[in-house]
Structure 1
Amino acid sequence: GSKSAQKAVSAGLKVMNTADAVKNADIAMILVNDEKQAALYKSEIAPNLKSGSVLAFAHGFNIHFNQIVPKDDID
């Protein structure tokens, strides 16, 4: 793992991979750079989003240009 993951564990936080974090979340915030978002969404996020989950972005490029199109049951 990364140094950041090690620091988080040391601080008492539970560290998960993206797919597991999304499975366990009601809100998913995508903070990776625009170039990586669509691939990450398709492979790790979309298959694991629960109906009614909230999907948020730091920047709307991929939503605006339809690189990411969430299902209708995602807020």
Structure 2
Amino acid sequence: MRKMIKAEIYHDEEYYCARCLDVDVFTQGKTLDQVVANLKEAIELHLSDDGERANTLPLNPSLFTFMDLGELNV
């Protein structure tokens, strides 16, 4: 069974920024794909450096994000 790590991803004036709600991780990227890849790498590095936290969360976490899609034309 995989555990979920919640993250907030938002776009500022130039970059996409990602902040984990469950672990102390923050990253950014020029594109949404880049920030998601950076977030996964940052989480893996954080968990591999913190032995106690690594025992409570899997090393291959699932990423779960909420995204503001802006105004939709429906």
Instruction: Name the TM tier (shorter chain).
Output: under 0.3
Structure whose residues are more often helix by fraction:
1
Structure whose residues are more often strand by fraction:
2
- TM-score w.r.t. the length of structure 2 is 0.26
